[in-house]
Each structure stands twice: as structure tokens, then as C-alpha cells.
Structure 1
């Protein structure tokens, strides 16, 4: 489900190595150079920029024109899939070599700032025509332009090809390392999820002591309760039977929210008998959400945590409410309680999967299990978010994709 983000040159490449290659290139060839990203913004420091270009760039209009020119040059190189030679906005000759990763343009090598001998082309006259309207000093422009190196076309193109090959090799190697790291992180996340699933399955297996015998016994108790007129007892036994039957289903199954809420109803029926009026519960999930598919046991562990760790420690008990709404087209299920609350450190520990067994209950395991299974099925943008205030209560938000996502 992982979606790799768009490659950003400054994030995937070691700019220090690029800088060293660029500096050596400029020192050897006498040609200035800089590496820019896909938006034309410099990634490296300019090497051997001419005084002429430094002067032009000292004017805001000159800098803006230079960046726009660099961007156009880079994109022209992308269209041709090779280095291109062109005249810059100041009349000098530059070249651009595209940096392409997996068919995606991530930046360009820009070099040049030289005068290319061309029959019928007066570079200095062209420079004056382009720059004087920008308000730059004629004498300074003329003096600095005369210092610009004159380089034959074949030498310039050979230098362009060399730098293009070296830079693209370095970037490709960097991208390979990035993708390998992403794959390693995915494998690690998958292994963690499998461990969580195995732990949950083991917990379920521990309760599967001859399930047919268990269900038959519960049904017998329910019938006896009915015969004795103990309707409340019969209701609780039926709820327990349904709850156990659902909990013995395969954890990797997908279920509807309607099924999940039925499980919660059974669970709350039993807990209300235990806690009496100390626990008040309400379920208000919009009917249009009920056919939404979710991983099995997405709600029950959260409700269980809310009661055991949130409401049970309070002498007066409290309220638990399950509701739903949409947010940015996604479906959000909210499990709220008015319990003792959870500290920020404890929330962080839950999501780092550092919680341990306490009083017979695995604190936080159910939460992180649900969170990781939702992300496994739908992607990292979905899952669980917890907000809490000590002494006030806790809100757990389950973000699910819209129904047409699946």
C-alpha cells in the first residue's frame, strides 16, 4: 500500500559529493557550474561563476531572469533527453544537462557562462540589447563581459557530456539507496504487523478450548434461564455466546462496521451487568457508514481499553460514546470516554509498541494492533489518532478511506 513520494533532489543525493565533483569540473575546464532542482533553485553552491554573472545577479530583475533562464534550459534538456547548449538572457552561452530519475525530472546541471565563437553572432552586442533596459551600468557590463572566457563549441559539448554522465550516475546510486531503505522499512513494518497478528491469534487460540462444547454449554444455560424466568441472564448469555463466536473468527478477515457494532453491543451488554449504572454507553454511527469494510476487531479492543483503563478506575464511572462523521471525504469513527485520561508519554509509548501487560490486560496492544492493521489494508494516511486530557477523558479517532476507495 506504500506510495513513494516524488523524488526531491536535495533529499536523495549527497550534495557534498555533487559539490566536490562540480568544483573539480569547473577548476579543470574553467567553465562555471551549478546544480538546480526541478524548480530551478540551486542545490549546490555555484562554482567559478563569472564576475559578469555575479554583477547581473546582484540586481533583483537580473537574478529573476537568471533563475527563469536556468529553469527553461533544464526543461529543454529534459524534452530532448540530453544536454543542450543555449544562449542565456545575458547573451552568454550555457548548457543544461538533465538529471532524470525513473523517468522523472528532478533537476539539472547548468554550466557555461562563456562566449561561444559563432559566425554572424555578436555576443557583446546581444548582451547590451538584453541587459541595458534593466538599468545596469554600461561600463561595468562591458568591462566584466570582456573577462568572460571564449571556449570552442566542441570543448563545451564534451564538458557537458562528461558532467552529465557523472552527475546522473551519482544521483542514480543515491536513489537506489533511498529505495532500498524504503523497502527495508516496509519489510520491517510488515514483520511487526505479522508479529502483532500472531500475538492476537495466539490470544484467540488460548480461548478456543473446545468451542463447540463451550457454545453448547452456553446455549443450555440460556435455555435454563428462560425456563426459570431469568430473562436478563438469558440476554447476557446470548451476548457472551455471540461475542465469543465472533472473537473466534479469523483476525485477517474484513467485516462491516455493522458487524463490528453488533460485537460492541454484545460486549456492552455484558459490561453493563458488571458495572451497572457506573457505565453509560451510546452508539450513534450514521447508517450510511454501516456497510463500510474494516479489519475484524477494529472497535472492540478500543471500547475494552476505554472501559478497563479509562472508566473502571473512576469510582463514579462515566460515559462511553461511539460516533462517526466524515472529514476530507474520509470516514472517521470516534470512540470517546469520560475516563481518567492518558498522558502524552503513555500515548507515545502505545504507538512505539512499548506497553506491557497490566492487571491481566495488555495495555495498548489492542490499539497498536488496530492501527497497524488499518494501515496495512488502506495505507499510512489512515489509522488511529488519540487525544486525551488527564482527568477529563479520551477521544480515539479511527480514520478510514471513503467507501469508494475499496
Structure 2
């Protein structure tokens, strides 16, 4: 991928998305946070900044020093290729993680404004000396310093690791958007405008990752981290990383049913952490179907729809059953839930809908109608989705796909 000289972080990733990522990180950790460009200038509105830092930044000289610290922290992290923990010019503990693409430093994700327990009573003198020439009221400085959180070093390091996950996610979004731009440039050169529009609609889905699901999960991770040493938290982080990588795969890619099932298992693991015993899931797909080809991200949007619109509204949750069977030259994959059900009029509205409406919490932005259209795009009008159910009786979504006989020798 070429380096795009002259492009800023805000050019590549929508600032609204950056702001939401930052705000959710700050909510999950309780730390102050800001995303800056390659010169240390804020790209986003700071989240959860302490009163002391806002006071220092209210003076021109203090703001200049803070921006210098931000720039230095971001570049330090970029040079180390990992998150850095450092002290700002006023003596507070800050964290920095680089945002770089192809060795081009675009900025940094910065957080912190905390004190370590071992700093003790020396902190007051250090801060007062650091801001002595800013003409700030010393009593106000000390009062605001007393409000700053004291966090153990291990918690700071854990926050730095979480910050690194966030910056990697931002970089993945940026790379997907750059790839999207390249694709759009190529498509504009084609003569068949109708074909261009169709391919663009499919490929645009690749970069439409809704951050709501990501940060619901991060809040879960943050809560788990307070309750245990690490194993379950590590498991969720790994599952989340796999989900993010799969979300950014080429939307045109064909994968095996087995790969798609593994993707679903990661998603269900995370939902299990969120909902506990409220949601139970079983997967029973015959081995003969595991090597069949399917468009990437076909099952996940349907499983997620079953949870969000079927089971989550029910106080006691319910069950999801994912199964498969063969019918001659076709096979079917079914997602059945015991949720609130669906009416005939609702089913009709789903299939009349010509444009995707992003529902709350969707990780991919792929709705039911998009899955249906993609399957018909690849396999023809005789394939696709069928939905059945009744109010308060659950819902079943069946996917019909062409069955290709695969011998055991080929499978091995």
C-alpha cells in the first residue's frame, strides 16, 4: 500500500468515529484521553480531562507545553512501536500509542493524567515547580491536584495495552478507508456505470464497522479486569481481535462454512461475557457442509440480529440454534432463536427495504437484506434467505446455497 503524503489522520478516518472511539475508551477506563495529529494538535475534543490539566492549558504557555508533551509522547511510542508510559511537563503520568501507516506517523492516541502511588508527597512540589511561571493560583493548583486519581503501575500498564488495541483498530479502519479510496478511483475509470455502482455498494460495506459493539465489549473487558487476574479477559481480547480482523477482510472473499463458524464462536463468546446465562447457543452443522464455500460475514449478521432484536428484549433471554442440512443440489444453514418473534408484516418490510438501515450495536453494518442480496449476487435468484416466525414464538432464518459435492480425498 503506498504512503499518502500530505494526508492527515482526519483525512483518512472520520473525526466523528475517532471521537466515539476516544469517548468510549475514556468511559471504560476512567482516564483522560485525546487523539492528536502528527504535530501534537488535538484532532478530537478531549475526554474526561482533569480540572488541573484544563487550568494549565488555559494559559498560552501551558497549552504549548502540553501540546509539546503530547507530540513527544506520540513520537516516543512511534519510535518504540509500542505504547509508552511517560511523565508530562507537569509531572503527571500519561500514556501514548502511535497511529502510523507504512512508517508514516499520523498522530497518537494519548491518555492518562494520573498519579502513581509511589509519587507520594513529592508530587505537590513537582507540579508547583512545573507550573511556577504560569501565574496560576497555587492553592487552586493544589486543590485540583488532590482530585487526580492515584492508579497502581500495573493498572497503568493494562490501560496502555488497551490503548494499543484501540490504535490498532484505528489503523485498520484507516487502511480499509485507503483501500476503499483506491478501489473507488479504479471503479470510476470503468465505462459500465451500473456495474461500478453495484461493486461499490458491496465493497463499501468493508469499512463500515460500527464502533458501538466494539466498545460495549471493551466495557465488558474493563469490568472483568477489575474482578479477576486475567484469563477470561485475555480470552475475550483474543476473540475481539479475531472479530476485528474478520470484519476488515475483503467483502468479496469466499471462505469455508467452518471458518465462518469459528467467527461465530468468537462473537458468541463475547456476547456470553455480556449477557451471561441469558443467552445460550448451540451449533450443529454436519461435517459434510464444513468445507462448502460461503461469502465472508454471512452468518454473523444473522446471529447478531437474533440476539439484538430477538433475545435481548426478553428479560430472561433465550436460545440460539445454528444448524445445517442438505437438500439435493442445495444446502441450508438455519439460525433459530426463541426470542420475541416476528410478524408477517415485519418480514415483508425487511425484504421491501432497498437500503441498509444500520441497527444499534451491529459490528459489521451488514443487515439481513444485505446478506440476502450478496448471496443472490454470487449464486443467483434461486438462492438467498427465507424468514419465518410468529409473535412471541421465535424466529428462523434459513439460507439456501448451492451444494458442491466434495470427496474426502479433496477435503484432506
If you compute each CA radius of gyration, which structure gives the higher value, 1 or 2?
1
TM-score tier by shorter-chain length is 0.3 to 0.5
TM-score, scaled relative to structure 2: 0.45
